[in-house]
Structures are given as structure tokens and as C-alpha cells.
């Protein structure tokens, strides 16, 4: 890898900075308190499969673009039907759980540390409204937060990463994309961004052929590596 020269850091949000499965589990538990853990996990898996499938259909052109709010309402109805719950208010509350996600334990402090050195850009597949609520609930600190809604597609479509390049006014190679998902980093890498993998329990680990610039165990480790690998500013 060539020497890192970074002007801004771009962060994935879902899974990288907030614990999405834990937030959805809490919503399912509220929807159907009688469910045991295995029942909750089955419904969580149903939720994840639906979201993954529908985003893929949008990427493939098989479905017109729909925001994450639309997809969350769809999957909340599906999960509620499967759980035998037909209360519209309960379904709406479950759909909103996708915007009430807890941050990982190192997220807030890690962002604050990095924000003292770099402009930070959040780049999420979440809709503009959902991203606003996610940021507020989890206490995320940004200099700018960008939603894939502005590109009317989802990661890893190059148009999403182009949002960060355009907003920063910098060449792609001067941006560092940080994510817990190797597929996300591959998408950014294809556009020329530098890449940093951060390990999370719910992420998509790199494969044998992946070559990312940095591999970190968390945000503190990432900040330490950037301190070592980048010249003082």
C-alpha cells in the first residue's frame, strides 16, 4: 500500500458505529414480550433477510428506489404478522426501532478523538430522516452526515461513495472509508478511496483476497494507527 495521506475520514454507520441487531432485538421484544430468545432470533433473521433482499433488488433494478423508512415499515409488518401481532401502533413502534440503535462502547469517544484531527463524514444507507434520528439517539458526532437517499440507491453502488467525494471536495484517494463490512470497503475501494476495516461482532470480516489499508480492533486502535501512520497536522 502507498503511504496514507488523508484529508477526511468517512464512516459507515449501521454495524460500524451502532449495534443494529441489538436495537432490532429490543424492538421485537417490545412487540412480543412472550417470545423466548430463539423466537426473537428467528424474527431478527427474518428482518435482516428482508432488508438485505429488498436492497439488493433495488441495486439490481428489480425494484424502484425506496428509503430505509419504507423498508422498515414493510419488514415491521412482516415480523408482526409472523408474531401474530396486529396492533398498528405496535407495528409502527417496531419500525422505529431501526432508528433507535445503541452505539458501540467505543463509538462516541472514538469519534470525538478523531474529530479533533480530521473532518468526519457519516455515509449511511439510512434515509435522511432515519440518519438524523440515529445520530441523535446514539450521540454520534459528525462534521457532515450523508444519506444514500441523495443518490437514490444503496451501497455498494459507486454513486453513494461519490457523495462523500463531492462533499469533501477532495480526490477519492485522500478519503479514508471506515467500515466493519468488507463488502462496503470493497465498494469504496473500487472508487479509489483508502480503506480501514474495524472489527465488530456483527460485521463482515475481510476475505483472503482483501487488501485494506488498515485493520483495527476498534476506534481507539484506529486512531492510534492513524497517529502512527500519518504525519502531524
Res 1: pLDDT: 47
Residues 6 or more apart whose CB falls under 8 angstroms from that of 98 comprise 20, 23, 24, 27, 68, 72, 130
Mean pLDDT by 10 residues, the chain (233 residues): 85 97 97 96 98 98 97 98 96 96 97 96 97 96 96 98 98 98 98 98 94 97 90 61
Confidence (pLDDT) at 202:
93
Q: β-strand 214-216 against 120-124: which pairing, if any?
A: unpaired
Contact 46, 35 (CB under 8 A): no
Q: Is residue 123 helix, strand or coil?
A: strand
Grid coordinates belonging to 223: 486512531
- Domains of the chain, start order: 8-18+101-229 (3.40.50.1000), 20-99 (1.10.150)
Residue 181: predicted pLDDT: 98
177: Cβ contacts below 8 Å, ≥ 6 apart: 10, 12, 123, 161, 164, 184, 185, 188, 189, 193, 194, 195, 196
Amino acid at each position: 500500500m502507498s503511504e496514507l495521506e488523508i484529508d477526511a475520514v468517512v464512516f459507515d454507520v449501521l454495524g460500524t458505529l451502532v449495534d443494529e441487531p441489538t436495537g432490532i432485538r429490543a424492538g421485537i421484544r417490545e412487540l412480543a414480550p412472550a417470545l423466548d430468545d430463539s423466537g426473537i432470533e428467528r424474527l431478527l433473521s427474518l428482518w435482516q433477510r428482508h432488508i438485505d433482499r429488498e436492497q439488493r433488488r433495488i441495486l439490481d433494478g428489480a425494484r424502484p428506489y425506496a428509503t430505509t423508512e419504507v423498508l422498515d415499515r414493510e419488514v415491521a409488518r412482516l415480523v408482526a404478522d409472523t408474531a401474530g401481532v396486529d396492533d398498528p401502533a405496535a407495528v409502527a413502534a417496531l419500525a422505529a426501532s431501526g432508528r433507535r440503535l445503541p452505539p458501540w462502547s467505543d463509538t462516541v469517544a472514538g469519534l470525538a478523538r478523531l474529530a479533533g484531527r480530521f473532518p468526519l463524514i457519516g455515509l449511511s444507507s439510512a434515509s435522511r430522516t432515519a440518519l438524523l434520528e440515529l445520530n441523535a439517539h446514539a450521540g454520534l458526532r459528525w462534521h457532515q452526515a450523508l444519506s444514500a437517499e441523495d443518490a437514490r440507491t444503496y451501497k455498494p453502488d459507486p454513486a453513494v461513495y461519490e457523495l462523500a467525494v463531492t462533499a469533501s471536495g477532495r480526490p477519492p484517494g485522500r478519503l479514508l472509508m471506515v467500515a466493519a463490512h468488507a463488502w462496503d470497503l470493497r465498494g469504496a475501494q473500487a472508487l479509489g478511496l483508502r480503506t480501514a476495516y474495524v472489527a465488530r461482532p456483527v460485521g463482515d470480516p475481510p476475505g483472503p483476497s482483501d487488501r485494506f489499508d488498515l485493520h483495527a480492533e476498534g476506534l481507539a486502535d484506529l486512531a492510534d494507527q492513524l497517529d502512527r501512520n500519518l504525519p502531524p497536522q
